[in-house]
Amino acid sequence: QFALTQPRSVSGSPGQTVTISCAGTSSDVGRYDYVSWYQQHPGKAPKLMIYDVTKRPSGVPDRFSGSKSGNTASLTIFGLQAEDEADYFCCSYAGTYTWVFGGGAKLTVL
């Protein structure tokens, strides 16, 4: 249903490291270095966490890191904290001013 494939849920204990994958195709993730990640807490608007695959906006902790290999992008959160519990969505530019999102991954901090 969604163009990019993410795991439905991931979990980790405080202080641990978790990685959320985002699988696309050679037409989006594999073609452009324009993958972004958004964090969404319940009832809130999405918040930009990573852009251009690896860049962090000011104010986003350096515990958040992005990467890409082939058609798959990843978001890694180091030193997990309770406030990181949220939904995370990946997004890729798909050319001609269009974008595709993933279905979202629910991160649970145990």
Contact residues toward other proteins (CB under 8 A) are 2, 32, 34, 36, 38, 44-48, 51-52, 57, 89, 91, 93, 96-104
Strands 9-12 vs 105-109: parallel, antiparallel or unpaired: parallel
Output the six-digit token pair for 2. 């969604």
Q: How far is the CB of 89 from other proteins (least distance, A)?
A: 5
Of 102, 109, 106, 107, nearest to 6 by C-alpha is: 102
Q: How far is the CB of 15 from other proteins (least distance, A)?
A: 28
> Would you say 79 or 95 has its CB closer to other proteins?
95
> Would you say 11 or 98 has its CB closer to other proteins?
98
Exposed / middle / buried, residue 104 (Cβ in 10 Å: 0-12, 13-18, 19+): buried
Q: How far is the CB of 14 from other proteins (least distance, A)?
A: 26
Q: How far is the CB of 10 from other proteins (least distance, A)?
A: 15
> Would you say 52 or 85 has its CB closer to other proteins?
52
Residues 6+ apart with CB under 8 A from 32: 92, 93, 94, 95
